[in-house]
Amino acid sequence: MKPAIIIGTKAEYIKMFPVMLEFQKRKINYLFVATGQHVLTDLIQKFGTNKPDIIVNPQDGFKGDTGGALSWGFKTFPKLVKVLQKHNEIDYVIVHGDTISTLIGCCAGRLTGKQICHVEAGLRSGNLKEPLPEEIIRRIVDFFSYIKFTPSDKSAKRLNGISINVGNTSVDSLHTALEYCKSSFSIDKPYAVCTIHRHENIKSKERMEKILNILSYVQIETLFFIHDNTVKKLKDFGLYNKLKENNNIKLMRPIPYLEFSKVLHGSHIIFTDGGGMSEEAAELNIPCIILRYETEREELLDRWDQTLTKLDIEVSKRAIMKYSLPRKQYILPNVYNSGGASVKIVDFLSKLK
């Protein structure tokens, strides 16, 4: 059995490097195909996985918006097909998540007669537009996958075929990052962490106004790690100065994953529209306020320290008040089995002929 692991984005690599390291630990050879959607060099050097055997289409005109990503995907797909056709020794194609690279990796694998294994399968928001195109990509990839590795029982139960609840590889990634990170980070008083990046949020003036209003009720220092796209949209909407005027918010440039894991670990409350950060919050037992209308990680809402706000001001205010208790109040069982997903995935795949 020789798998191909297809990875496009930094987020995909962060959630898949523990699987790759487990393959390497067992001396199981795999083909690492980087689509080129993001540059992965720094992360690969930090975590010590094999370098890509092939980089298919290194950021040829790629833009971060949905239209640019789709255009890039159409150009990259036939090149990826040729790569997989050339490597007849590949039995399984492993893809992760819900990106454009996930979609073209799945389709190229099926077209060339490979079996598809989907890691982080079964997530659903129930709304095709929330988020777009990720919700559509998940459904397509799950439909065409032979083996579906899910992060929770809820996600496994909604799938047909071979679906195995292995837990979440992001938990393995987080603990590895916290172990690897040598930098120190400390603030003497409680602080919050915030990230906002989803297209359905940053492209809507109405939504961004609601998010800024919600953040205005936070009484502790809030480290807002803000991306260039978010800054641009806030300026276009005339909202950037309103954000800067909030004395409790400290605007910060995004920092590498290793260092960010330390910052996250020490935080008191997390505000995010990202799924990965809500997973990490659950593992770290840190209250998380989800600034979205829908979430595909419904199992997290079984915990009382996670609130899906639907951008409702009153719901958000109540959550902020509830989560302003001492952090020791939030010791809860973890819905993702507290690690080991990567070992379970490799255990299963290594038994296949």
Q: What is the pLDDT of residue 50?
A: 97
* 40 token code pair: 């992965």
Alpha helices in the chain (DSSP H): 10-25, 41-47, 66-86, 100-111, 134-144, 153-157, 169-180, 199-202, 205-215, 228-236, 240-244, 257-265, 275-284, 313-322, 341-350
Task: Tell whether pTM > 0.85.
Answer: yes
**Which candidate, 92, 99, 77, places its Cα nearest to that of 12?**
99
Q: Give the span between the Cα atoms of 322 and 187, in whole angstroms.
A: 22
Q: Give the span between the Cα atoms of 147 and 114, in whole angstroms.
A: 12
Q: How far is CA 86 from the centre of its chain?
A: 30
Amino acid (1-letter code) at residue 78: P
Say if residues 219 and 314 touch (Cβ distance below 8 Å). Answer: no
Q: What is the pLDDT of residue 222?
A: 97
Q: What is the pLDDT of residue 106?
A: 98
Mean pLDDT in order along the chain per 10 residues (353 residues): 93 97 96 95 95 87 66 92 95 96 97 97 94 94 97 92 94 93 78 95 97 96 95 97 96 94 94 95 94 94 93 97 70 71 96 78
Q: What is the pLDDT of residue 328?
A: 53
Domains, the chain, ranges and CATH? 3-168+338-350 (3.40.50.2000), 183-330 (3.40.50.2000)
Which residues does the annotation mark as catalytic?
A: 197
Which contiguous run of DSSP H or E holds residue 164? strand 162-165
**Which candidate, 243, 131, 262, 294, places its Cα nearest to that of 193?**
262
* 312 token code pair: 């409702």
Q: How far apart are the first and last CA of the chain?
A: 6
